[in-house]
Chain A
Amino acid sequence: MNFWQFIVQNHTEVLELTWEHISLVGISMLIAVLIGIPLGILITRWPALNKPVLGGANIIQTIPSLALFGFLLPVPWIGARAGRLAVLALTLYALLPLIRNTYTGIRGVDRAVVEAGRAMGMTDRQLLFQVELPLALGVIIAGVRIATVLSVGLATIAAAIGAGGLGEFIFRGLAMVSDQLILAGAVPAAALALVADLGLGWVEKRLSPQ
């Protein structure tokens, strides 16, 4: 039986796990965006927070993913369900690129333009929403793109703690020494990453100021 036959025969399970995979990545990215972008903005306003926030996100990034899943197991409400745990871990991993790109994007806006806005009597909020964020949007979306592609790959590990996703096939395949099974997990996961990369790349290009 070759790879394609396997996919066709097991298409319901493939689709189910793919959907689980997308949900894990989607939910964690949503949470990460809601936390990471405001944090990135915050550290442009309070430079004193810059080092602790970026440093913290950096440290999380250096923890091996399997270990992070393990660390989170004893956490009360989170550890009770594999899904929650996986979402939290993926969220934590996605934070660094989001915070860093938001920060560098805003800091990279031409200082003369920002100062002109300030000199014209724009409040900090007006400056942020009308000038800095629109001009930094391309860089921020690039951060979302990096984080998403990273998450699609990492989410395969979530199967190790029983959170589902395409990693199920991969781990099952490893246990059964079955190339088909491993590929049935790896190929759709790679395809997802590619689609996310291309899609967000397109968005990034559209939203970048020329």
Chain B
Amino acid sequence: MNSSPRDGVAIEFRNVSYCLDGGRELLSQLNLEILRGETLVLLGRSGSGKTTTLKLINRLLAPTAGEVAVDGRPTTTWDVIRLRRMIGYVIQDAGLFPHFTVERNIGLVPKLEKWTAERIQKRVEELLQLVGLDHQIASRYPRELSGGQRQRVGVARALAADPPILLMDEPFGALDPITRAELQREFQALQMRLQKTVVFVTHDMREALLLGTRIALIEAGRLVALNTPQAFLHSKDPLVASYVDAFRTDLTTPRN
């Protein structure tokens, strides 16, 4: 990779605000650089603007002010279909198509990209293995899977066309604690291998500390702190400290 200092930046928010039609501001003056290969966690309580931030990246929402740049280009100048196909998207409860088998769900983007049937099938098998699912599951429908299996399929589907960027919106939020811990560990291992640029939304501080290379704390539509997990835990900033304190009781065994 060569010289330009921007090279390491995958996604950039420049003075981004987002208002609803009625004028209520969900996100205000956000400035944020997300680096290639990092896992940036957007942490905050419900309604703080985390999901809004995420949806601004793949242009499910367009900023009312400022701009979001992906690979240096504002999302509003991208062909939105191209943009979205290079960004994987995983949501809570997976959002799988209930009328598609696991195989068709995972192979969706490759199919839209007109891969050959043979290549799709090979890719699906590869991905099932990657997320730790038995290939026999391929012909099942989402309703026949457990929550953990569905979420794995959701991750496989997002990775199908090998997008450089992955957006994850509380992907493990609907799982029981044991399955959640399992998937978090697997995600960590997976990310170690794949080195995607990941933007991960959660309200779970433990998850943020475990998975994030950096944590962005969002409160009432504003970015209030941006730190590595270590620095986050020991921050003297009163807002961050109060946030950490509120979760402290939960954190019996910090892993970082």
* A113, A131, A135, A210 pick with most chain B CB within 10 angstroms: A113
Tell me how many residues of B have a C-beta within 8 Å of chain A.
25
Of the candidate stretches B19-27, B79-87, B196-204, B214-222, the one touching chain A is B79-87
Q: Out of B60, B82, B98, B99, which one reaches A115, CB within 8 Å?
A: B60
Near B by CB (< 8 A), chain A positions 118-167 give: 118-123, 126, 131, 134-135
Q: Decide yes or no whether A112 CB sits under 8 A from chain B.
A: yes
**Other-chain residue from A112, A113, A115, A120 in contact with B109 (beta carbon distance below 8 A):** A120
**Contact among A116, A121, A122, A209 with B95 in the assembled complex (CB-CB below 8 Å):** A116
Measured in the bound complex, the distance between the Cα atoms of B95 and A113 in whole Å is 5
Identify A131's interface contact among B91, B97, B143, CB under 8 A: B97
Would B97 and A121 count as touching, CB distance under 8 A? no
A117 within 8 A of B: yes
Among A110, A112, A210, the one with the most B-chain Cβ atoms within 10 Å of its Cβ is A112
User: Does B143 contact A210, Cβ atoms closer than 8 Å?
Assistant: yes
Q: Which of these, B84, B89, B94, B98, contacts A135 with CB under 8 Å?
A: B98
- On whether the beta carbons of A121 and B93 are closer than 8 Å, the reply is no
Contact of B97 among A113, A119, A123, A210 (CB under 8 A): A113
The B-contacting residues of A in range 154-210, CB under 8 angstroms, are 209-210
Bound CA–CA A187/B80 (angstroms): 58
Q: Which of A118, A135, A210 contacts B60 (CB 8 A)?
A: A118
Contact B93 A120 (CB under 8 A): no
Q: Name the B residues within 8 Å of A113 (CB-CB).
A: 95-98
B53 near A: Cβ within 8 Å?
A: no
Rounded to whole angstroms, the CA-CA distance of A118 and B80 in the bound complex is: 10
Kindly state the separation between the CA atoms of A56 and B97 in the bound complex, as whole angstroms. 34
In the assembled complex, the CB of B110 is this many whole angstroms from the nearest CB of chain A, namely 11
Verify A112–B95 contact, CB threshold 8 A: yes
Expressed in whole angstroms, the minimum distance between the Cβ of B79 and any Cβ of chain A is: 10
Task: Say whether, besides A112-B93, A116-B91, A209-B99, A121 and B60 are in contact (CB < 8 Å).
Answer: no
- B112 beta carbon closer than 8 Å to chain A: yes
In the complex the two chains form, is B60's CB within 8 Å of A112's CB? no
Q: Is B108 an interface residue (CB 8 A)?
A: yes
**Cα-based distance from A118 to B61 in the complex (angstroms):** 11
Whether B91 lies near A135 (C-beta < 8 A) is no
Q: Whose C-beta in chain B lies nearest to the C-beta of A109?
A: B98
Q: Is the CB of A121 within 8 A of B81?
A: yes
Asked whether A120 lies within 8 Å of B108 as measured between CB atoms, the reply is yes
Task: Judge if B17 is at the interface, Cβ distance under 8 Å.
Answer: no
Q: A113-B98, A131-B97, A210-B143 are in contact. Are A121 and B109 (CB under 8 A)?
A: yes
Cα(A32)–Cα(B69), bound, Å = 47
The distance in angstroms between the C-alpha atoms of A116 and B109, with both chains bound, is 11
- B99–A121 touching, CB < 8 Å: no
Q: Which residue of B lies closest to A131 (CB)?
A: B97
Contact check, A119 vs B93: say whether CB atoms are below 8 A apart: no
Closest 8 CB pairs of A and B: A116-B95, A121-B84, A121-B85, A119-B89, A112-B95, A209-B99, A121-B81, A134-B99
* Subset of 19 A-B contacts with CB under 8 Å: A110-B98, A112-B93, A115-B95, A118-B60, A119-B87, A119-B167, A120-B85, A120-B89, A120-B108, A120-B112, A120-B158, A121-B80, A121-B81, A121-B82, A121-B84, A121-B112, A122-B108, A131-B97, A134-B99
